[in-house]
Structure 1
Amino acid sequence: MARSKEFDENAVLDKAMRLFWEQGYEKTSMTDLVEFMGIHRRSLYDTFGDKHTLYLKAMDRFNEKINAALAAGVKRSKTAKEALLFIFNFMIDGQADSPPGCLMVNSAVELAARDADVDLKFTKMFTVAEQQLKEIILWGQRDGEFSSDYDADELAEYVHNVWVGLRVMTRTSVAKEKLHRIANTSIKFLEG
Structure 2
Amino acid sequence: MARLIEFDEEQAIQKAMEVFWKKGYAATSMRDLTDAMQINSSSLYNTIGDKHRLFVRCIKHYIKMRIDAVEQRYISFASPIQALESFIKDAADIITTEPNSCLCVKATFEIEGDDPEIQAIITSYDNFTHRFLKDLVEKAQSQHQIGQNENADTVADYLVSTFIGWYNSFILHQDRNKILNMADFIIRQLRC
State the TM-score, normalizing by the size of structure 1.
Answer: 0.89
Matched letter for residue 152 of structure 2 = A
1:125 equivalent in structure 2: 125
1:15 equivalent in structure 2: 15
Contact 1:80–1:139 under 8 Å retained in 2: yes
- Matches for 1:132-171 after TM superposition, within 5 Å: 132-171=132-171
Contact 1:102–1:168 under 8 Å retained in 2: no
Moved more, 27-36 or 98-107: 98-107
Q: CA RMSD in A?
A: 2.3
Cα distance in structure 2, aligned partners of 1:36 and 1:66: 22
Cα distance in structure 1, aligned partners of 2:179 and 2:132: 21
CA distance change for structure 1 residues 121 and 182 in 2, over 3 Å: closer, same or farther? same
Secondary structure, aligned partner of 1:130: helix
Contact 2:5–2:39 under 8 Å retained in 1: no
Cα distance in structure 1, aligned partners of 2:171 and 2:87: 17
Cα distance in structure 2, aligned partners of 1:36 and 1:75: 35
2:25 equivalent in structure 1: 25
Deviation at 1:76, TM superposition (A): 2.0
Cα distance in structure 2, aligned partners of 1:36 and 1:171: 26
Contact 1:100–1:171 under 8 Å retained in 2: no
Identity of aligned residues (%): 27
CA distance change for structure 1 residues 102 and 24 in 2, over 3 Å: closer, same or farther? same
State the TM-score, normalizing by the size of structure 2.
Answer: 0.89
Deviations 1:96-150 (A, max 9, x none): x953321111111110421111111111111111011100111211222211111
Deviations 1:35-79 (A, max 9, x none): 111111111111211101100110000000011111111112222
- Structure 1, unpaired ranges of 5+: none
Secondary structure, aligned partner of 1:101: coil
CA distance change for structure 1 residues 42 and 89 in 2, over 3 Å: closer, same or farther? farther
Contact 1:73–1:86 under 8 Å retained in 2: no
Contact 1:17–1:62 under 8 Å retained in 2: yes
Secondary structure, aligned partner of 2:150: coil
Query: Where in structure 1 do 4 or more consecutive aligned residues deviate above 4 Å?
Result: none
Are residue 71 (structure 1) and residue 45 (structure 2) matched?
A: no
Contact 1:112–1:118 under 8 Å retained in 2: no
Cα distance in structure 1, aligned partners of 2:86 and 2:21: 22
1:45 equivalent in structure 2: 45
Cα distance in structure 2, aligned partners of 1:151 and 1:58: 35
Secondary structure, aligned partner of 2:122: helix
Deviation at 1:88, TM superposition (A): 2.8
1:102 equivalent in structure 2: 102
1:57 equivalent in structure 2: 57
Matched letter for residue 128 of structure 1 = F
Deviations 1:81-106 (A, max 9, x none): 322233233333339x9533211111
Q: How many residues are treated as equivalent by the alignment?
A: 191
